[in-house]
Structure 1
Amino acid sequence: MDYKRAAKKIIATVGEEKLKSKVEILAPIEGTVVKLDEVPDQVFAEKVMGYGIAIEPSTDKVVSPVEGEVIHLLDSNHAVGLRTTDGVEILIHIGIDTIKMEGQGFKSFVKEGDKVEIGDDLIEFDLDKVNEEAKSILTPVVITNTDQFAMITRLQEGIINIGDKILEVKF
């Protein structure tokens, strides 16, 4: 059997993007991985927003963990939503109850509709200010359209660096 010819026929039939079986989400910030159920906010802890992890940040800059598009940016710049080229939607929410800071200490480098590459700067924030004024510094990174995927797996525990693989989304 000619496997190359068979593969080309499958690609032509279903499209190359449908053959991808997983998407890896990289760490958008340095820090320590924390289980989502430890976040002091029911919406995240009970996975109402979706499945993922939280990171206790040790740096003040959030970068894109994927190639895709900015689909949501709160006016206060404390949270950003991204969609990968494969349709995985990711929310990165800096701290808990940071909306009350009304944008003080947050600076965005992107706007809705922007295309982003892995490692592009998204948001910079005052780590000390967030630590002082927010309920928690924990930064959830969640897949908001969890129900569209077969499985989402946490890949890391403990201390992580930007670019480490933190989540795997299987189709």
Structure 2
Amino acid sequence: MLFKRSQKNEIYAPVDGIYVKQELINDPTYATTIMGVGCGVRPANNIVKSPVDGEIMMVFPTGHAVGLKRKDGVEILIHIGIDTVNLQGKGFTTLVKQGDKVNVGAELVRFDQEIIKQNDLDPTVIVIFTNTNGHEITLHNESESITTRDVIADVK
């Protein structure tokens, strides 16, 4: 028997680690909803994966941030660390480029937490919904410890 795949409404964690509520992110730009609703993850590893099926809309030249867009128009910014743009790409390896189509779990960026920490920077990986395209985003934060297999938000 064949089953029709339903449209996925889930947004998965981009990295394994500890969930951080938006208001607890150590940067006022992301801790408020100025750029959009979202959350953070204190990373337990050094690989950022795609939280959705979609298209890579932007990759910062320094490798510290990636923008994705789902087929339904929802846009997501993944920002690795706070003030990590100042590292000028040191410790970041991008594995995708603008225009690439990716599926949930595809590796996007590898980063070196030790370099981030040696420069007295916060390695928290931030997920912000910069454009909901009229959809409602419901964040999940019941669990403190999460993996890339865990849903962090739903789109309605």
Q: Deviations over 1:89-111 (max 9, x none)?
A: 11110000000000000000000
- Residues in 1 aligned to 2:39 and 2:11: alpha-carbon distance in whole angstroms: 11
How many equivalent residue pairs?
150
Bigger helix share: 1
- Residues in 1 aligned to 2:60 and 2:120: alpha-carbon distance in whole angstroms: 16
1:81 to 54, 67, 70: 67
Larger Rg: 1
Residue 5 of structure 1: aligned partner: none
1:91 counterpart SS class: strand
Residue 28 of structure 1: aligned partner: 14
Contact 1:95 1:134 in 2 (8 A): no
TM-score, normalised on structure 2?
Answer: 0.90
1:160 and 2:149 matched? no
- Residues in 2 aligned to 1:115 and 1:146: alpha-carbon distance in whole angstroms: 19
Q: Deviations over 1:21-47 (max 9, x none)?
A: x72101110000011111121110111
Bigger strand share: 2
Q: Deviations over 1:34-85 (max 9, x none)?
A: 1111112111011111101100001000011111100011000000000011
Paired AA for residue 140 in structure 1: I
Residue 33 of structure 2: aligned partner: 47
Residue 128 of structure 1: aligned partner: 114
Point out where structure 1 has 5 or more consecutive residues left out of the alignment: 1-19
Change (3 A) 1:147 1:41: farther
Q: Alpha carbon RMSD of aligned pairs, Å? A: 1.6
Contact 1:29 1:63 in 2 (8 A): yes
Percent sequence identity over aligned pairs: 42
Contact 1:97 1:134 in 2 (8 A): no
Matches within 5 A, 1:77-156: 77-146=63-132, 148-149=134-135, 151-156=136-141
